[in-house]
Amino acid sequence: MNASALMPLRARLGLDRLERLPASVARPAYDPRAIDIGIVHLGPGAFHRAHQAVYVDDLLADDPRWGICAVSLRSADLRDALVEQDNLYTVAVLDERVAWRVIGALREVLVAAEDPARVIARLAAPATRLVTSTITEKGYCLDGSGALDLGHADIVHDLARPDAPISAIGMLVAGLRRRRDDGIAPFTTICCDNLTDNGRKLGAAVVAFAERLDPALARWIADAAAFPRTMVDSIVPATDDGVRARVAGALGVEDRWPVQREAFAQWVIEDRFCNDAPDWARIGVTLTDDVAGYESAKLRLLNGAHSTLAYMGLAAGHASVAEAMADANLAAFVRTLMQEDIRPAVRVPRGFDIDAYIDAVLARFRNPAMRHALAQIAWDGSQKLPFRLLGTLRDALAARRPVERLCRPLAAWMHFVCSTARGDRRITDPLAERLLVIGDACTGDAGADVARFLAIESIFGDDLPREPRVVTALVDAYAGSAVD
């Protein structure tokens, strides 16, 4: 059921309705019509709109240069939902205290698949000094080693048609090439996805693509552009009709695409820019030369635990994170995994209290005010697991620490694929076709089934399938129960 079916008679959120919203609803402390666009964001999904756009919204009252042009790579759904409400939308903060806030930072929504030339023009505009992205791990067209996959269909297309790109990498290079040709300084590009060493990998992918088109352009990008590393954190479940109804009740008007999040939010950026930048510190962004420590804590402890809850929780019959955390056995397993198996492999910044961080993560998972579906977290496992759990597993092997617990969520993921294939359901994953073939072929013979999964080199590499400790632990976990 869509939102309009739920609320057929309610007026729509828009600039003309802002002053009539209830006093309990926070709204932009500036006139959205008076701000300029200084940021282009690729992939304006729920996370961006609940996280980076909120930080920018805090900035605009004092510095109106940083409005956002949101670029959807393929889908027009967001553009069509927000265009009739002047690109305004609501953030519902669902925590111990519930809060509502209307965001005005998105001033334009473009659809690259419809008009790539307009996107390139916006990227090349002198006023654009920052480009940010949340396109998920798979959106960067990287291979198993983290380098640009030159055989990826989108990259092949963009190298053949560089003026009509369909990939984020192709768009970035097209925008940078136009700026180089026009004598304009490059923009700073900030990857906000959960990739280890995300800035370096994105920068290397952009340079590798440019090298195929124009070696001089590649050298200019390598010398003049900046791709700082970053870490972002806030739990943002997908929007559903329940959230839409709650927002409409609080605002008294319909918002076709609000977002929900917890109160906690964190944004850490490497202090390395090639162009003008906002006053990050004023809006609560941490600038540092040690993003890796924050990144390691978040990717391995929070995201690793999240994926563990997703696959083991689904296997135990749970549907949401809070529900899974109410399972005493599963909650105890996750805490032990974080403390004994993941913590030793995490390098944190000086002064970082890792015990307090683990306690805070577990408390956030228990938040009963939000329903974060385990099925959503389970998406794209082939892309997430190498960063969230397999790096920790390799570190444990190198240090000769136990690997048995770390293999339990991996085995649960294998069961998740098999049960999805048997149920004739769709897997949301770039490797969906291959995974469904593997799931259909699995018979319940633990040794044979695990071997089928370990043969996926883009996930497990060529090293883990040759590690007897890993193979044995995975087979035992696959054959055993989900949680002791």
Q: Is the pLDDT of residue 348 over 90?
A: no
Residues ≥6 apart with Cβ < 8 Å to 480: none
Residues 257-297: pLDDT tens digits? 999 999 999 999 999 999 999 999 999 999 999 999 999 99
Distances (CA, A) of 91 to 26, 100, 110, 354, 459: 10, 6, 21, 29, 35
302, 261: one domain: no
Question: Which residues constitute the domain of residue 143?
Answer: 3-289
pLDDT at 4: 42
Residue 395, phi-psi category: left (phi > 0), alpha (psi -120 to 50), beta (remainder): alpha
| Nearest partner of 111 among 42, 190, 188, 162, judged by Cα | 42
Q: Which of 258, 289, 320 is the last residue of a domain?
A: 289
pLDDT more than 90, % of the chain: 91
| CATH assignment of the domain containing 345 | 1.10.1040.10
pLDDT at 117: 97
Residues 464-483: pLDDT tens digits? 999 999 999 999 999 995 44
CA angle 398, 404, 406 (to 5 degrees): 75
Residues 5-41: pLDDT tens digits? 444 447 999 999 999 999 999 999 999 999 999 999 9
Q: Is the dihedral of CA 207, 212, 215, 220 positive or negative?
A: negative
280, 334: one domain: no
225, 322: one domain: no
Q: Is the pLDDT of residue 89 over 50?
A: yes
126, 225: one domain: yes
307, 284: one domain: no
| Residue 280 belongs to a domain | yes
250, 376: one domain: no
302, 284: one domain: no
Q: Is the pLDDT of residue 426 over 90?
A: no
pLDDT at 370: 85
| Residue 484 belongs to a domain | no
pLDDT at 484: 42
Q: What's the mean per-residue pLDDT of the chain?
A: 94
Residues ≥6 apart with Cβ < 8 Å to 115: none
The stretch 104-110 carries a mean pLDDT of 98
The stretch 111-129 carries a mean pLDDT of 97
The stretch 198-217 carries a mean pLDDT of 98
Round to whole Å and give the CA distance between 338 and 333. Answer: 9
Round to whole Å and give the CA distance between 230 and 198. Answer: 7
pTM, whole model, 2 decimals? 0.85
Q: Is 185 exposed, middle or buried (0-12, 13-18, 19+ CB in 10 A)?
A: middle
Residues found in the chain: 484
- Per the structure, the count of domains in the chain is 2
Residue 252, phi-psi category: left (phi > 0), alpha (psi -120 to 50), beta (remainder): left
| Residue 54 belongs to a domain | yes
Q: Is the pLDDT of residue 3 over 60?
A: no
Q: Which of 234, 255, 289 is the last residue of a domain?
A: 289
234, 379: one domain: no
247, 392: one domain: no
| Residue 313 belongs to a domain | yes
| CATH assignment of the domain containing 192 | 3.40.50.720
256, 307: one domain: no
Residue ranges of E strands in 171-313: 188-191, 230-233, 259-261, 266-270, 286-288
